[in-house]
Amino acid sequence: MSATQPVQPAQPSGTQPKVTEREARQVAEAAREQDWRKPSFAKELFLGRFRLDLIHPHPLPADEDVRRGEAFLARLREFCETRIDGALIEREAKIPDETVRGLKELGALGMKIDPKYGGLGLTQVYYNKALALVGSVSPAIGALLSAHQSIGVPQPLKMFGTQEQKDAYLPRCATTAISAFLLTEPDVGSDPARLATTAVPDGDDYVLDGVKLWTTNGVVADLLVVMARVPKSEDHRGGITAFVVEADSPGITVEHRNAFMGLRGLENGVTRFHRVRVPAAQRIGAEGAGLKIALTTLNTGRLSLPAMCVGAGKWCLKIAREWSGVREQWGRPVARHEAVGAKISFIAATTFALEAVVDLASQMADEDRNDIRIEAALAKLYGSEMACLMADELVQIRGGRGFETAESLAARGERAVPAEQMLRDLRINRIFEGSTEIMHLLIAREAVDAHLSVAGDLIDPEKALGDKAKAGARAAGFYARWLPKLATGPGQVPGTYRAFHPGGHPDLSTHLRYVERSARKLARSTFYAMSRWQGRMETKQGFLGRIVDIGAELFAMSAACVRAEHLRATGAHGREAYQLADAFCEQSRLRVEELFGRLWSNTDDLDRKVVAGVLSGTYAWLEEGVLDPSGEGPWIADAAPGPSTQKNVHRPIR
């Protein structure tokens, strides 16, 4: 096939609703949790207010939670060491059924479920530690457990289920039933407004029709959370709605098990619904509340993925240390060559900061004193990006061995280090549970929320003049009070935060002052951009992405310093923690400075022109001279509802 064949339309011939960009935004906006009842460190940070008091001293878990958590971690560790063969899972692209049964017996399906429903009742902190531990042996098992508990049936039921639903499903979820979360469809990825699966009311039931794609655990699941659209009618409010569905209900077919670049053991499928009857009692929350339920579930659910990234960082550090100290080239261990050393330092410092971010956000989630939805989103965004960088650097440090599979290394008599697998397994984290691009938008929306709530009507082209005048007055009052506060702050006063410079330790107070100053600069930049671009602000994705990335770095610096001081105060590796926090902050500050520079000096406008040229075919000549090995076929499979013509590959593990 020629490399320059004409572009085919991407749309399938199915029945997807046509959705404009504005409608897509409205759906996302309606699903957003709009209230802020508790303080939020990250929200304040984006407003230029560095509320160190919200995160320092580092919050602590209750003794009983620690005892219970540590006891489970000990049992899980033993299970991982004796009953999980990560290499076998990778080789056979399958988690053995006995391993899954063993995990069930251990209670690993119910880590976060309340003991009154038969679960272990672990805190978010210990749930995360457990995922990091098990994910280090087999990322596929980490993904299975996390998909079941962070986005599957237990969490939405805990938050939004009726008592009857909790009584019926939570004991099963805690012990035997694996669950899956079904939102994505062939034509519905980041944009749920296009959701085409329908749930049509019929007597006391709903009838579900449609096709769901990439359902993690779908192939082996016992229970499903399904997002489907209820048509609006006289008696029905309609809208995207969540249901708990028995995975072996008549009319459900798992048509295919998908295979990926990484996470080879994942039991991820394509699930078709054909006239599937679901009793109304299995609807979670109200009609139309489905997306809000999904997003609220993810508020803390998002922490499990970066927790596994922390585990990945720890492992990268271990291998980097062991290998680069013994591998000698050009007269010295490769670690002693500066170019390699810089990578090791990056991995060590970043792992420290990432653990600080995840532990702090998780502990705050357990305490429930602060609103941590932005912190969790930042942790997901930052953790997934940084873990990929760390794994990539590990591959580089390992040289040719980094590119070689563990199996091949072992076959020729070397240690079976799965560095390339780690890189492949981590890659999906930047795509699922909110891609990096979508996380940027989602967090940016919260970062500019204060501006929109006072000045939103002012820049909304659809608002009447009267509304605009009122908004103008409101905005004038807000900015008159807020803007002057951004001019000066404690970050300019030498000696502020001096508790973070104990004798004989690196000075972290200087980094906290930098964070305080940078938070104000960030807020000033956001305000300036809002006044410059007004209603077009939401289209400035390059700018917004950088604003969010700066916020992520500032949050990570804050968390790293607070953790270092916490470790010093409690006597555990305090001095070394200060060193790592200092190194991280120095590295992070360079990234922040670069990001600030690129807020206003970038190629965003030029890039837009290049994209227009690429899409119109102006540069198609550049693609000549190669062949495209891709097969034929549509870009997106047809997802028209109807009976399945495929074999059902569903195989619950009982």
Ligand X SMILES: Cc1cc2nc3c(=O)[nH]c(=O)nc-3n(C[C@H](O)[C@H](O)[C@H](O)COP(=O)(O)OP(=O)(O)OC[C@H]3O[C@@H](n4cnc5c(N)ncnc54)[C@H](O)[C@@H]3O)c2cc1C
182 binds ligand X per the rule CB under 6 A: yes
> Which of 260, 478, 533, 596: binder of ligand X (CB under 6 A)?
260
Q: Which stretch binds ligand X (CB under 6 A): 39-47, 117-125, 177-185, 557-565?
A: 177-185
Nearest to 93 by CA among 262, 276, 298: 262
**Radius of gyration of the chain from Cα atoms?**
25
Interaction with ligand X in 499-558: which residues (CB under 6 A)?
A: 541
Nearer to ligand X, 186 or 574 (CB): 186
Q: How many binding residues for ligand X (CB under 6 A)? A: 23
19 binds ligand X per the rule CB under 6 A: no
Helix axis angle, 304-326 relative to 139-146, nearest 10°?
170
32 binds ligand X per the rule CB under 6 A: no
Tell me the C-alpha distance between 267 and 218, whole Å: 6
* Min CB(294)–ligand X separation in Å: 9
- Name the residue with tokens 């970062």: 447
Tell me the C-alpha distance between 462 and 478, whole Å: 23
Nearer to ligand X, 304 or 370 (CB): 304
Q: Is 437 a catalytic residue?
A: no
CA angle 68, 71, 76 (to 5 degrees): 120
Nearer to ligand X, 431 or 640 (CB): 431
Tell me the C-alpha distance between 22 and 16, whole Å: 17
Nearer to ligand X, 432 or 533 (CB): 432
Nearer to ligand X, 431 or 620 (CB): 431
* Interaction mask 404-443, ligand X, x per CB under 6 A: ------------------------x--xx--x-xx--x--
Nearer to ligand X, 144 or 508 (CB): 144
* Min CB(187)–ligand X separation in Å: 8
CA angle 563, 560, 564 (to 5 degrees): 40
Nearest to 91 by CA among 405, 414, 423, 427: 405
* Min CB(180)–ligand X separation in Å: 6
* Min CB(156)–ligand X separation in Å: 13
> Which of 184, 241, 509, 588: binder of ligand X (CB under 6 A)?
184
Nearer to ligand X, 341 or 641 (CB): 641
Tokens read off for 273:
């619904």
* Min CB(262)–ligand X separation in Å: 8
Cα dihedral angle (42, 48, 53, 54), rounded to 10 degrees? -20
> Which of 12, 14, 96, 189: binder of ligand X (CB under 6 A)?
189
Residue nearest to ligand X (CB): 189
Interaction with ligand X in 341-380: which residues (CB under 6 A)?
A: none
> Which of 31, 134, 178, 183: binder of ligand X (CB under 6 A)?
183
Q: Which of 90, 287, 420, 433 is catalytic?
A: 433
Nearer to ligand X, 144 or 394 (CB): 144
* Min CB(188)–ligand X separation in Å: 7
Interaction with ligand X in 103-162: which residues (CB under 6 A)?
A: 147
What does the buried/exposed string (b/e) look like for 244-273 if buried means 16 or more CB atoms within 10 Å of the residue's CB?
bbbbeeebbbbbbbeeeebbbbbbbbbbbb
What does the buried/exposed string (b/e) look like for 410-443 if buried means 16 or more CB atoms within 10 Å of the residue's CB?
eeeeeeebbbbbbbbbbbbbbebbbbbebbbbbb
Q: Which stretch binds ligand X (CB under 6 A): 194-202, 262-270, 361-369, 456-464?
A: 262-270
* Min CB(413)–ligand X separation in Å: 34
Nearest to 380 by CA among 552, 519, 541, 557: 552
Q: Where are the alpha helices (DSSP H) in 227-337?
A: 290-301, 304-326
Tell me the C-alpha distance between 405 and 421, whole Å: 7
The 8-class DSSP code of residue 185 comes to B
Interaction with ligand X in 316-345: which residues (CB under 6 A)?
A: none
285 binds ligand X per the rule CB under 6 A: no
> Which of 155, 179, 215, 363: binder of ligand X (CB under 6 A)?
215
* Min CB(170)–ligand X separation in Å: 20
Tokens read off for 121:
């009742």
Q: Are 327 and 300 in contact (CB under 8 A)?
A: no
* Interaction mask 441-460, ligand X, x per CB under 6 A: x-------------------
> Which of 117, 169, 181, 497: binder of ligand X (CB under 6 A)?
181
190 binds ligand X per the rule CB under 6 A: yes
CA angle 329, 390, 60 (to 5 degrees): 130
Nearer to ligand X, 36 or 432 (CB): 432
CA 22 to chain centre: 25
- Name the residue with tokens 């060491």: 81
Tokens read off for 7:
């572009």
Q: Are 305 and 146 in contact (CB under 8 A)?
A: yes
Distances (CA, A) of 465 to 299, 449, 459, 469, 535: 37, 22, 11, 6, 15
Nearer to ligand X, 76 or 183 (CB): 183
Tell me the C-alpha distance between 498 and 317, whole Å: 31
Q: How far apart are the first and last CA of the chain?
A: 47
Tell me the C-alpha distance between 582 and 588, whole Å: 10
* Min CB(28)–ligand X separation in Å: 9
* Min CB(639)–ligand X separation in Å: 12
Q: Which stretch binds ligand X (CB under 6 A): 89-97, 112-120, 261-269, 525-533?
A: 261-269
> Which of 214, 273, 527, 543: binder of ligand X (CB under 6 A)?
214
Interface residues with ligand X (CB under 6 A) are 147, 180-184, 189-190, 214-216, 260, 263, 266, 268, 428, 431-432, 435, 437-438, 441, 541
Q: Just list the catalytic residues.
A: 433
